[in-house]
Amino acid sequence: MRLIILGAPGSGKGTACAVLKETYGLAHISTGDIFRENIKNGTPLGQEAKSYIDQGALVPDSVTIRMVEDRLSQDDCAKGFILDGFPRTIAQAEALDDILTAKDTKLDAVICVVTDDELIMDRVTTRRVCPSCGASYNVKYMPTKVEGVCDACGGEVIQRSDDTAETVQKRLDTYYANTKPLIDFYAARGLIVEGNNNVSSEECVAQIEEGLKAKGLN
């Protein structure tokens, strides 16, 4: 199964992906995670991406598209994938079409996670992550057992530099300006499957699984 997951930053895409990749045996490709890994390792790609990410702006298409093309060529993507955080612009969506056409494949569905902005602002500014093992926490809703210490690996738990209120607002503005038109782009092809994450991630995932089933995907 070849999927995209769309949704505003902090809408709950990552949580839904963690479930969906297990259920359907998919490679989970998060462009944000790939950029952060490169920043952590100090690679040239990471150095180029950092200034954009810190401002809540998009990394240029030329850099991002090449990175995704490389990732989709890896063996684990042959059995199916879920793209999280890509495409974010129409130009990226068109480039993805070309990449998939060259591989003689196409998308099966585009998942759209819907969450109200006020909920996003609350959830993201209280989010904390462990850079060592990638575990995610929330000071209000899912705190670590010991403050600032990762339950899973004992590493230091931090706030992502782009999870501050000011940057989250910029990321939401960027999303509405650039990414929301993608929903119309894929809706015209009848590919959209919606999950509402205002109540709980369990309910959101259940809706998505129903929607995929209705398209004959399981």
Residues with catalytic function:
13, 88, 127, 160, 171
Map residues 135-174 to x or -, x wherever contact with ligand AMP holds by CB under 6 A. ---------------------------x--------x---
Candidates 40-48, 55-63, 146-154, 204-212: pick the segment binding ligand AMP (CB under 6 A): 55-63
C-alpha dihedral (17, 210, 200, 159), degrees to nearest 10 = 10
Kindly state whether residue 59 participates in binding ligand AMP, applying the rule CB under 6 A: yes
Instruction: List the one residue from 24, 50, 52, 155 that touches ligand AMP (CB under 6 A).
Output: 52
Considering only 11, 20, 29, 31, the residue that binds ligand AMP (CB under 6 A) is 31
Query: Cα separation of 183 and 93, whole Å?
Result: 11
Q: Is the dihedral of CA 213, 72, 63, 57 positive or negative?
A: positive
Q: In the bound complex, what is the minimum distance in angstroms from residue 88's beta carbon to ligand AMP?
A: 4
Question: Could you tell me how far CA 202 lies from the centroid of its own chain?
Answer: 17
As measured in angstroms, the least distance from the Cβ of 61 to ligand AMP is 7
Residues 6+ apart with CB under 8 A from 23: 209
Which residues have a Cβ under 8 Å from the Cβ of 128 and sit 6 or more positions away?
A: 136, 137, 138, 139, 144, 157, 158, 159
Kindly list the residues in this chain that would bind ligand AMP in the complex (CB under 6 A).
9, 31-32, 35, 52-53, 56-59, 64, 85-86, 88, 92, 162, 171
